[in-house]
Structure 1
Amino acid sequence: MSILYPRLLPGEAERLFASFHGRKAEELARFAAIASDRAVYAASGGTRASRDQLRLLVTDLEKVASVCGFPEPPGTAAKNEFDRTVARQLHERSGMLPGEASQRQVWAFFGLVLVPHICAWRFPMKNGAYNRDRFKGTDLTRHTLARLWTRAYVLHDPTLPDPYQLLSGLGEADLDQVMSRRVAVAATPALVRAVVRAHVEDGDTGDGIPARAVHRDSLRRLLRLTAFLDLDWLSEQAILELVREQRRESRRFIAAIGVNAADLEDPTD
């Protein structure tokens, strides 16, 4: 049974977010709380998270952020370490099921009440303002924490020695390009796992072709294929073979034409 988390009502979410502008991460730590009078719970479908569970979750998140340098601005390595560790923690310890994790108001509570300082640290202000998606959950693929739970859920593979090892298979930018394709790619968890697994398998082939170029060209090819292929009818092994074949095609193509900056751009451009 799922653990149910508080859901922040839209009006309160907007009020809190507006009050954060201009405040640094360490200042927002004073706004953090484990409860809000403007939060509600789903009427049924699970057990409500207790105050102790919420405190423990906050403590875990703060420990990871501290290890990664909070409140000092995080570098690339610190961001990657934070994302991978928190993704695993949220999926392992939150007790959420996909139905609860799909609720924007749940993640609004996380970002605006529970740990606003951590969201502000991970995604700092630009021009004195924060990006609302990172706090409010208007787009769950961009919310500071929702995107991490989803990655862990999709990439979790109990057949591996470490069920979460695929979380480190792609860098942040490349994994984000996969997960943000919600209909064409991320809607099929087996396809996401196959993309990451095939990328890890390739490793350094010694042919001088950048792994990122192969990944992004093959993702273009997969995006075209998923427009008319129903992957739900394929086994996980068949999907993995499909991805491997697209990577082989990409490697041959890139070897023939060479690599330039265009090969490293967003695959939907």
Structure 2
Amino acid sequence: MIRRFPKLHAGRAKAIVSEWKGLDADALKQQSRTLPEIAREKFAATGIRKISADELATFRNQIEDAATSAGYPAKSLAVRQQVDTAIAVRLAQMDLPEGEMLRPEVWTWIAVHLMPHIVHWRFSKDTGEVKEERYLGILQRNALGRLWLRGKVFDRGEEVEDRWGLVDGISEDATVAILERTSVAGDWRLARVIGEAWLDAKRNGMAADDLLRDAVIRARISFAITELGTYNDEDLKTTIEECIHVALARKVHSLTN
């Protein structure tokens, strides 16, 4: 779906979201059934063809179908994790234009106008409150933008049999630690290899979530000395695994002294 998506700036989104106090996911879902007039929405001035209202409705339906197949609207932690994975994979498979999808304002429009009910279901507290950043935050914090990024970055490629194993296996904490660090998230190959190293560490019984942030800092220091382009994926992974083991040794030392 190579189309130009509408944008919604944070100030306008904030005003809309502020009017939703007291509404639950069901009410927001009904509200999203009628799409805003596409002709009145803000698009980039030039570029690929604008997406139509029908195409936006299809896009929304595909995401809702992926969520429903994974257990939505049940509210257990396991279902939320399964829905995250299902949506991330579906978004990554849609062939969405990366230039458009890297714009936070695009995901703000999608979260506010197309799928506010999904955002509310995923991130509402017991009080019904949802942090504004889940609608209008940066890409890594937007409830749906973060899943597109996760699917794209951790996609192993069509030639790999277990293509989505990393998307499915990586934890929310690890995803945040990797993708919210701009020096890592800016290099998708590096981010993916760090994810693979994390997954191996987890399989080997390490407290990988606790070690990852320290390991990523050490890896970036190492890669600041040597150009990343000189590393193949295996070399990258070896270096990152070494950083994880150093982080583990430091943690053990701090606990025993």
Partner of 2:57: 55
Work out whether residues 169 and 199 of structure 1, in 8 Å CA contact, stay in contact via their aligned partners in 2. Answer: no
Which of 244, 249, 252 lines up with 2:246 in the alignment? 249
Q: After alignment, is 166-175 or 153-162 more displaced?
A: 153-162
Partner of 2:106: 106
Deviations 1:65-94 (A, max 9, x none): 33455444x22211111111101111212x
Which of 232, 237, 240 lines up with 2:237 in the alignment? 240
Q: Secondary structure at the match of 1:193?
A: helix
Structure 1: how far apart are the matches of 2:31 and 2:229?
45
**How many residue pairs align between the two structures?**
254
Partner of 1:191: 190
Structure 1: how far apart are the matches of 2:174 and 2:256?
17
Partner of 1:146: 145
Listed as ranges, the gaps of 5+ residues in structure 2 are none
Query: How do residues 1-269 of structure 1 correspond to structure 2 at under 5 angstroms?
Result: 2-9=2-9, 12-32=12-32, 33-36=34-37, 38-72=40-74, 74-93=75-94, 95-125=95-125, 127=127, 129-136=129-136, 138-158=137-157, 159-183=159-183, 185-205=184-204, 209-226=206-223, 228-258=225-255
Q: After alignment, is 58-67 or 187-196 more displaced?
A: 58-67
Work out whether residues 211 and 248 of structure 2, in 8 Å CA contact, stay in contact via their aligned partners in 1. Answer: yes
Letter in 1 for 2:142: H
- Post-superposition shift, 1:44? 2.8
- Post-superposition shift, 1:252? 3.9
Structure-2 change in CA distance of 1:36 and 1:259 (3 Å): farther
Work out whether residues 178 and 192 of structure 1, in 8 Å CA contact, stay in contact via their aligned partners in 2. Answer: yes
Q: Secondary structure at the match of 1:2?
A: coil
Q: After alignment, is 84-93 or 44-53 more displaced?
A: 44-53
Letter in 1 for 2:235: A
Structure 1: how far apart are the matches of 2:46 and 2:142?
25
- Post-superposition shift, 1:255? 4.8
Work out whether residues 14 and 132 of structure 2, in 8 Å CA contact, stay in contact via their aligned partners in 1. Answer: no
Work out whether residues 157 and 163 of structure 1, in 8 Å CA contact, stay in contact via their aligned partners in 2. Answer: yes
Structure 1: how far apart are the matches of 2:108 and 2:207?
38
- Post-superposition shift, 1:63? 2.4
Letter in 1 for 2:240: V
- Post-superposition shift, 1:3? 1.8
- Post-superposition shift, 1:60? 2.0
Supply the RMSD in Å over aligned alpha carbons: 2.7
Q: With the length of structure 1 as denominator, give the TM-score of the two structures.
A: 0.81
Deviations 1:118-155 (A, max 9, x none): 1111111465542111112x311100111111111111
- Post-superposition shift, 1:64? 3.2
Work out whether residues 91 and 148 of structure 2, in 8 Å CA contact, stay in contact via their aligned partners in 1. Answer: yes
Structure-2 change in CA distance of 1:28 and 1:237 (3 Å): same
- Post-superposition shift, 1:224? 4.1
Structure 2: how far apart are the matches of 1:7 and 1:235?
37
Q: With the length of structure 2 as denominator, give the TM-score of the two structures.
A: 0.85
Identical aligned residues as a percent = 25
- Post-superposition shift, 1:167? 0.7
Work out whether residues 67 and 86 of structure 2, in 8 Å CA contact, stay in contact via their aligned partners in 1. Answer: no
Q: Secondary structure at the match of 2:130?
A: coil
